[in-house]
Amino acid sequence: MNNDIMAKRISFVLVTGVIISSICIIIGIILSIINNDFTYDLEHYDFKILKYDLINFDARAFLMLGIFILILTPIIRVFCMLIQYYIEKNYTYISICFIILIVLAISLFLGATHL
Core vs surface per residue 39-71: b (16+ CB within 10 A) or e: eeeeeebeeeebeebeeeebbbbbbbbbbebbe
Query: pLDDT value at position 61?
Result: 87
Query: pLDDT (tens digit, 9 = 90+) per residue, 6-44?
Result: 788 888 989 999 999 999 999 999 998 888 876 766 566
What pLDDT score does 1 carry?
Answer: 55
Q: Which amino acid is at 106?
A: I
Within 9-115, strands assigned E span none
Q: Does the structure show a pLDDT above 80 at 113? A: no
In angstroms, what CA-CA distances link 90 with 4, 7, 85?
16, 16, 5
DSSP reduced 3-state for 63: helix
CA distance 10 to 29: 29
Chain segment 51-105, per-residue pLDDT in tens: 888 888 888 889 889 998 998 998 999 998 898 889 889 899 999 999 999 998 8
Closest residue by Cα to residue 19 from 31, 29, 30, 11: 11
94, HSE (Cβ side, Cα atoms, 13 Å)? 9
